């Protein structure tokens, strides 16, 4: 049974906001790649935001363990932390790429690197609405729908977090 803890008018607004964010975030990130701010050194950010990705991956697994053990409160707090970390990652990622020249991969595993990178990028776009709607369903108290969507959201979000670390490890020797 759906025991809504979010009023219907707010749920409708939340849905519209999720759709808007799912469009605006990827478009804004793509547009910001055309921006280049000179004189700002944020070269310390890639290992930091790779660490954010790794932390997100670990916390997602911990959230899964918590809910499997029936600890809803811990699960909620871990997922909220993952959302906050993901937002921080996005801000750091955009700041770094707006102030730094692109880095080319120069290793022998070029096809593997680009496969991981492209799948990471495409799924990082897809994960935005999937995770936000999954979160919204739980917030509304629609736990059946939340569980169904989690079966899609969790592996995608975990893949994006883990491959973010892998991409960093593979590209880091080529940073200027």
What is the per-residue pLDDT across 16-75, written as a single tens digit (0 to 9) for each? 999 999 999 999 999 988 889 999 999 999 999 999 999 999 999 999 999 999 999 999
pLDDT given for residue 9 in this prediction: 87
pTM exceeding the 0.85 threshold for the entire prediction: yes
DSSP state of 3: -
For residue 109, tell me if it sits in a domain: yes
Q: How confident is the model at residue 1 (pLDDT cuts 50, 70, 90)?
A: very low
For residue 3, pLDDT over 70 is answered with: no
For residue 92, pLDDT over 50 is answered with: yes
Of 115, 122, 125, 123, residue with least CA distance to 166: 115
Q: What is the residue-averaged pLDDT of the chain?
A: 94
For residue 167, tell me if it sits in a domain: yes
* Domains contained in the chain, number: 1
Domain hosting 85: range is: 42-174
pLDDT given for residue 175 in this prediction: 87
Bigger pLDDT: 137 or 7? 137
For residue 31, tell me if it sits in a domain: no
Q: Please tell me the distance from the alpha carbon of residue 119 to that of residue 99, in angstroms, as a whole number.
A: 24
For residue 75, tell me if it sits in a domain: yes
Q: How confident is the model at residue 164 (pLDDT cuts 50, 70, 90)?
A: very high
pLDDT given for residue 7 in this prediction: 80
pLDDT given for residue 6 in this prediction: 76
Stretch among 28-37, 119-128, 147-156 having the lowest mean pLDDT: 28-37
For residue 158, tell me if it sits in a domain: yes
User: The domain spanning residue 85 has which CATH number?
Assistant: 1.20.120.80
Q: Classify residue 40 as left (phi > 0), alpha (psi -120 to 50) or beta.
A: beta
Asked if residues 89 and 53 have their Cβ atoms less than 8 Å apart, the reply is yes
For residue 108, pLDDT over 80 is answered with: yes
């Amino acid at each position: 049974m759906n025991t809504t803890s979010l009023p219907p008018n707010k749920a409708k607004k939340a849905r519209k906001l999720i759709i808007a964010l799912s469009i605006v975030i990827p478009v804004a990130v793509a547009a910001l790649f055309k921006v280049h701010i000179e004189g700002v050194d944020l070269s310390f950010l890639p290992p930091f935001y790779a660490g954010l990705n790794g932390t997100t991956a670990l916390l997602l697994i911990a959230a899964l363990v918590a809910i499997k053990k029936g600890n809803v409160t811990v699960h909620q707090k871990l997922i909220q932390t993952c959302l906050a970390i993901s937002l921080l990652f996005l801000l750091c990622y955009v700041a770094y790429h707006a102030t730094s020249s692109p880095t080319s991969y120069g290793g022998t595993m070029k096809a593997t690197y680009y496969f991981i990178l492209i799948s990471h990028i495409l799924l990082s776009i897809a994960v935005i609405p999937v995770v936000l709607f999954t979160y919204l369903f739980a917030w509304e108290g629609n736990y059946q729908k939340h569980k169904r969507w989690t079966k899609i959201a969790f592996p995608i979000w975990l893949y994006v977090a883990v491959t973010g670390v892998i991409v960093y490890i593979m590209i880091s020797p080529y940073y200027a």
